[in-house]
């Protein structure tokens, strides 16, 4: 079978439902071993309880990309709530001698009690943007590194690609249908990330259940091949799904397929789907044929290995919606964001917070806590990503004093308490809204697909405190 | 922090343990909606119970690749065992009106009762290789499509990339440490796939627990930055992990780092790790310095954004092991395998099995059930991928009659009963062994990294029955 097939939901697709939550296992072992061995060393030498600031950022955007889209924050907050070392996890760590008894005792009582601030999910970002800032003891903050990066790197890679696709599609709905080309759990996260970036629906049922996303799908080529002929397959599908369904017309001959489709459903047929061939000329032929058959309201859905460039190339074609699979769930050439989780400041032996950074070779980082704001011009267009550095307490207390600076970091976790506005289906809606607003604010031209620099420059401002 | 850091386990790394199984939720909704709507139509019109043969194959290898590596089979069998529509799944499907009551009743009792044959996990494959063949009613076989493809496409993409890396590394151990650059659950599957393709260990704790894989890791740059100076970080790590540990020496100045490392651990230091810079010249400098300090047995581990080409470029460098992250978990440029799940034969209205295939446009498939064997020359080298087609019963009964044909498909599920040899940690060991043997059989030159055609041609042989 080929790519699944969307019906064409009205846009904006907001018919989200209250999801039934599946059981949630511990996320604590979704972690690199060295986080635990570092913890053991730091517990032994007394540095484990030093206050630390870890910052998540990416050093560069994928080649040619103008902006990135932060996604995964809501999933991360839910995963942090489940980051507990229960009996099964502790037993395994003990049996494998991953860490010593003191460390096991620490892990048994572990919960994150620090603060996390970050860009709101759905916000656009640029090289150096501090999209997440984790404040806590070394012990509690270092343990979260792997999970934070896994979630933000994958979800943001998908959202960043998806945003280009919805830009290219302009007002036509785009449907996510890439589950078969991604790890089965990644597929669920990918569906969520694409909806944040403006996709209208997904083929993935678990994403529908877990995040309340609209789901769509009607039939594959196998359904036609199962039947004795195309006509009987179409008649069966219309009987089962109603004439508003989408019939897949390219199993044999497209022209005969369209004829059979309208014969089966009448001119009120919802849509036909094309999943192969030269979609530009095919869509024109099919539109003409549908109109001649009186099916002037029947829509055309296309779904064959589309990416943002193929979508853009179909702008002038009589296409009503796009189904996207492989390219979006694999980040359209950039399957990860390259975000890193860096210690940028920590309490010294003297109890004073000090900036820290790796200095050797090519991976030099800017130390110190940073606040972030986006500078807007008189028309409300973004002009600069402003990072504010300086003495730790001064930066922590900093807030923009002028209306041209929109602050970018919001509290996500405070003293270990997760702000649940960002989680669950409501968090997805909030993130989708944030993305729409944030993207609309970008300079004209930032949404073009052609390769170029980051849409706005990033500047570092030092304050005195 | 940067990439996690491996110790250097002895090779082959076989110290696998009995894993503690986490709770396993239903996998049934990791499915595209159209599988269920097709089922509804087929249940209504009576075709749902037609016997069908679905085949999984890829039309082409990623550009320049010589072979693919099948991985995920063991995970798939475990996921099929958990493919059940329980009360939570049925309630959600009903509340969303995804399918009608008759279909819900069918799903409530669903379990797969058919047969699945496939290439043994770890086997190499080529374009058209029927790596999985699912025999069952349309109803029971169509439901598995999405899950089958999600698992095989991701795991095989990782294993296919990983196999090139272990080829390039020759006898030096390669460690998987890409969790932070993949979805958190995909990371666990990726670790498993890399070990099947010859990796020695992983940084991922959950992969260790679930699959019994060896796990490694000691410290990141954050551990050094946490401390007042590099010396105290190294002294602490050696106190905690022993002098056999791996010290990360490139936080500040590498030369001073190596000096401090040997000062902290003595000349019996296990290894130093380099995570940045020009690794070829740096490794030579560090080797010389270590030898001058008397640390002649101290190993050098390198870990900075390596892929198969970077590994090959370090062949002449005094490097003892490689840590690979981003590139392997994202398939090194090919993040999915492009495998499809095609209906190739089905029972007609007359009760007779007939081959079926899509005929329009560019996605033409070869219909009919196929058996597969690899032809070996007198030296035991693979020379052809032989696919056998013809009348369904004859093909189903076919087995090679000459010793130069090695049969490739093994029974995985028979009348719904899963062969558990392929699952769990034992299945991973079996798959790793299969991969070693299968890759060794390829023609000389097939393991070169340079772009070329598939290592052996695929030929289709028609039998009469």
Give the per-residue pLDDT at B464.
Answer: 87
Q: How far apart are CA A236 and CA B115, in angstroms?
A: 28
User: Do both B55 and B118 map to the same domain?
Assistant: yes
Q: What angle do CA B367, B371, B373 make, to 5 degrees?
A: 135
Cα(B413)–Cα(B398) distance, integer angstroms = 18
Assess whether pLDDT exceeds 90 at residue A17: no
Chain B residues closer than 8 Å to A26 by CB: 22
Q: Which residues in chain A have Cβ-Cβ distances shorter than 8 Å to B326?
A: 336, 338
Cβ atoms of residues A263 and A292 within 8 Å = no
Cβ within 8 Å, pair A4-B33: yes
pLDDT in tens, A268-313: 999 999 999 999 999 999 999 999 999 999 999 999 899 999 999 9
> Are A359 and B183 within 8 A, CB to CB?
no
Q: pLDDT tens-digit profile of B202-218?
A: 999 999 999 999 999 99
Whether pLDDT at B361 is above 90: no
Residue B398 in any domain: the answer is yes
Q: What is the 3-state secondary structure (H, E, C) of chain B?
A: CCCCCCCCCCCCCCCCCCCCCCCCCCCCCCCEHHHHHHHHHHHHHCHHHCEEEEEEEECCCCCCCCCEECCCHHHHHHHHHCCCCCHHHHHHHHHCCCCCHHHHHHHHCCCCCCEEEEECCCCEECCCCCCEEEEEEHHHHHCCHHHHHHHHHHHHHHHHHHHHHHHHHCCCCEEECCHHHCCHHHHHHHHHHHHHCCCCEECEHHHHHHHCCCECCCCCHHHHHHCCCHHHHHHHHHHHHCCCCEEECCCCCHHHHHHHHHHHHCCCCCEEEECCCCHHHHHHHHHHHHHHCCCCCCEEEECCCCCHHHHHHCCCCCCCEEEECHHHHCHHHCCCCCEEEEEEEEECCCCCEEECCCCCCCCCCCCCCCEEEEEECCCCCEEEEEEEECCHHHHHHCCCCCCCEEECEEEEEECCEECHHHCHHHHHHHHHHHHHHHHHCCCCCCCCCCCCCCCCCEEEEECCC
Give A87-96 contacts, CB < 8 A, sequence gap 24+. A88/A26, A88/B20, A88/B22, A89/A26, A89/A28, A89/A29, A89/B209, A91/B20, A92/A29, A92/B19, A92/B20, A92/B208, A92/B209, A93/A36, A93/B205, A95/B17, A96/B17, A96/B208, A96/B215
Residue B2 tokens read as 């940067």
In this structure, is residue A394 part of a structural domain? no
Q: What is the mean pLDDT of chain B?
A: 94
Out of A5, A41, A186, name the one closest to residue B186 (CB): A186
A254 and A141 in a common domain = no
Q: Give B20-45 pLDDT, tens digit per residue.
A: 444 589 999 999 999 999 999 999 99
Spell out which residues of chain B touch residue A205, defining contact as CB-CB under 8 Å.
29-33, 36, 93, 98
Question: Does B323 share its domain with B364?
Answer: no
Task: Report, as an integer, the average pLDDT of A250-257.
Answer: 97
* From A19, A40, A349, residue closest to B228, measured CB to CB: A349
Of the residues B360, B365, B366, the best mutation for testing chain A's interface (the one with the most A CB atoms within 10 Å of its CB) is B360
| Residue B465's pLDDT band (cuts 50, 70, 90) | low
Q: In this structure, is residue A352 part of a structural domain? A: yes
B331, B365, B381 - which closes a domain: B331
CB neighbourhood size of B463 (10 A): 13
Could you tell me if residue B317 is inside a domain?
Answer: yes
Confidence check: pLDDT of B15 > 50: no
Tell whether B49 is covered by a domain.
yes
Distance from the Cα of B4 to chain A's closest Cα (Å) equals 6
- Higher-confidence position of B232 and A20: B232
Distance CA A47, CA A53 (A): 14
Mean pLDDT of chain A: 94
Can you give the CATH number for the domain in which A285 is found?
3.20.20.70
Asked if residue A83 is part of any domain, the answer here is yes
Quick one: DSSP state of residue A215?
A: B
Q: What is the mean pLDDT of residues A412-421?
A: 98
Beta-strand relationship, A246-248 and A271-274: parallel
Q: Of A45, A98, A363, which is closest to B2 when you measure between CB atoms?
A: A363
Chains A, B: CB pairs < 8 Å: 393
Lowest mean pLDDT: which of B89-93, B230-234, B399-403? Answer: B399-403
Q: Which residues are within 8 A (CB) of B292 and not within 5 positions of it... i.e. 6 or more apart?
A: none
Whole-number pLDDT of residue A5: 45
Which of B280, B307, B331 is the C-terminal boundary of a domain? B331
Residue ending a domain, choose from B331, B362, B385: B331
Task: Judge whether residue A6 has pLDDT over 80.
Answer: no
Position B222 scores a pLDDT of 97
B229: CB partners within 8 A, 6+ apart = none
* Pick from A22, A38, A95: CB nearest B88: A22
Same domain, A68 and A127: yes
Q: A227: distance to nearest CA of chain B, Å?
A: 7
Identify the CATH number of the domain in which residue A114 sits. Answer: 3.20.140.10
Q: How far is CA A388 from CA A131, A301, A368, A407, A457, in A?
A: 13, 47, 10, 11, 14
Q: CA of B152: which chain A residue's CA is closest?
A: A183
Rg of the Cα atoms in chain B: 25
User: Are B371 and B395 within 8 A, CB to CB?
Assistant: yes
Residues B219 and B327 in one domain: yes
pLDDT at A16 over 50: no
- Which of B6, B23, B38, B233 should one mutate to test binding to chain A, selecting the residue with the greatest count of A CBs within 10 A? B38
Please check whether residue B3 lies inside any domain of the structure. no
Residue A328: strand, helix, or coil? helix
Q: Assess contact for A326 and A305: CB atoms under 8 A.
A: yes
* Domain count along chain B: 2
Q: Which residue has the tokens 């309340």?
A: A212
Task: Give the chain B residue whose CA is nearest to the CA of A138.
Answer: B226
Give the nearest partner residue to A226 out of B47, B150, B228, using CB atoms: B47
| A142 and A247, same domain (yes or no) | no
Is A41 in contact with B220 (Cβ distance < 8 A)?
A: no
Give the pLDDT of residue B362. Answer: 54
Lowest mean pLDDT among A96-105, B93-102, B365-374: B365-374
Distance in angstroms (rounded) separating the CA atoms of residues B76 and B80: 6
Residue A99 DSSP label: S
- Same domain, yes or no: B344 and B363: yes
- Is residue A9 predicted with pLDDT exceeding 60? no
Residue B167 lies in a domain: no
* B203·A22 Cβ contact <8 A: no
Q: Report the residue from B89, B149, B362 with minimal CB separation from A276.
A: B362
Give the Å distances, CA to CA, from B91 to A18, A201, A202, A305, A454: 12, 21, 20, 34, 46
Residues B234 and B303 in one domain: yes
Domain co-membership, B310 together with B373:
no
Chain B residues inside the 8 Å CB shell of A216: 33
Same domain, B363 and B307: no
Element (H, E) at A135: strand A132-137
pLDDT in tens, A193-209: 999 999 999 999 999 99
Measure in Å the smallest separation between the Cα of B169 and chain A Cα atoms. 23
If asked whether residues B309 and B258 sit together in one domain, one would say yes
Do A89 and A136 have their domain in common? Answer: yes
- Taking contacts as CB-CB distances below 8 angstroms, the residues of chain A near B78 are none
Distance from CA of A448 to the nearest CA of B (A): 24
Specify burial of residue B45 (Cβ count, 10 A radius: 0-12, 13-18, 19+). Answer: middle
Full domain range(s) for residue A52: 33-156+334-362+409-454
- The nearest alpha carbon in chain B to A358 belongs to B251
Write out the two tokens for B325: 């992250």
Among chain A residues, the shortest Cα distance to B278 is held by: A361
Cα separation, A55 vs A343, whole angstroms: 6
Tens-place pLDDT, residues A344-380: 999 999 999 999 988 765 555 678 999 999 999 999 9
Which one of B42, B205, B330 has the shortest CB-CB distance to A31?
B205
Edge-to-edge strands of the sheet including A271-274? A201-202, A174-176, A321-324, A299-302, A271-274, A246-248
User: Coil, strand, or helix at residue A377?
Assistant: coil
Contacts of A40 in chain B (CB under 8 A): 240-241
Q: How many CB atoms lie within 10 A of CB A378?
A: 7
Using the predicted structure, report yes or no on whether residue B67 has a pLDDT greater than 80.
yes
């Amino acid at each position: 079978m080929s790519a699944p097939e969307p019906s064409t939901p009205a846009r904006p697709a907001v018919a989200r439902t209250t999801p039934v939550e599946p059981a949630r296992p511990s996320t604590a072992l979704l972690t690199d071993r060295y986080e635990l061995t570092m913890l053991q060393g730091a517990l032994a030498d007394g540095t484990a309880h030093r206050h630390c600031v870890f910052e998540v950022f990416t050093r560069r955007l994928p080649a040619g990309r103008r902006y990135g889209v932060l996604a995964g924050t809501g999933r991360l907050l839910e995963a942090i709530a489940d980051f507990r070392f229960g009996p099964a996890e502790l037993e395994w760590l003990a049996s494998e001698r991953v860490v010593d008894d003191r460390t096991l005792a620490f892990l048994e009582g572990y919960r994150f009690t620090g603060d996390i601030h970050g860009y709101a999910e759905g916000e656009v970002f640029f090289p150096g943007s501090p999209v997440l800032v984790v404040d806590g003891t070394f012990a509690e903050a270092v343990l979260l590194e792997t999970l934070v990066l896994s979630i933000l790197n994958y979800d943001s890679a998908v959202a960043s690609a998806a945003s280009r696709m919805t830009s290219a599609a302009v007002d036509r709905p785009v449907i996510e249908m890439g589950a078969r080309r991604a790890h089965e759990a990644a597929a669920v996260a990918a569906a969520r990330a694409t909806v944040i970036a403006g996709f209208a629906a997904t083929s993935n049922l678990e994403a529908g259940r877990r995040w309340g996303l609209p789901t769509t799908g009607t039939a594959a080529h196998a359904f036609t091949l199962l039947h004795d002929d195309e006509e009987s397959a179409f008649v069966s599908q219309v009987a089962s799904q109603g004439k508003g369904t989408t019939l897949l017309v390219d199993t044999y001959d497209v022209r005969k397929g369209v004829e059979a489709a309208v014969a089966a459903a009448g001119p009120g047929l919802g849509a036909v789907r094309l999943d192969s061939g030269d979609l530009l000329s095919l869509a024109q032929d099919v539109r003409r044929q549908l109109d001649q058959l009186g099916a002037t309201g029947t829509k055309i859905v296309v779904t064959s290995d589309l990416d943002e460039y193929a979508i853009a190339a179909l702008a002038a074609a009589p296409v009503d919606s796009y189904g996207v699979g492989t390219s979006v769930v694999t980040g359209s050439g950039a399957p990860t964001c390259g975000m890193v989780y860096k210690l940028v400041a920590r309490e010294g032996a003297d109890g004073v917070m000090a900036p820290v950074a790796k200095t050797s070779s090519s991976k030099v980082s800017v130390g110190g806590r940073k606040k972030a704001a986006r500078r807007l011009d008189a028309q409300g267009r973004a002009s600069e990503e402003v990072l504010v550095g300086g003495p730790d307490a001064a930066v922590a207390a900093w807030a923009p004093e002028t209306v041209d600076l929109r602050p970018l970091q919001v509290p996500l976790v405070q003293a270990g308490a997760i702000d649940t506005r960002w989680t669950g289906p409501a968090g997805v809606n909030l993130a989708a809204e944030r993305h729409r607003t944030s993207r609309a604010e970008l300079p004209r031209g930032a949404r073009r697909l052609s390769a170029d620099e980051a849409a706005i420059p990033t500047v570092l401002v030092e304050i005195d405190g």
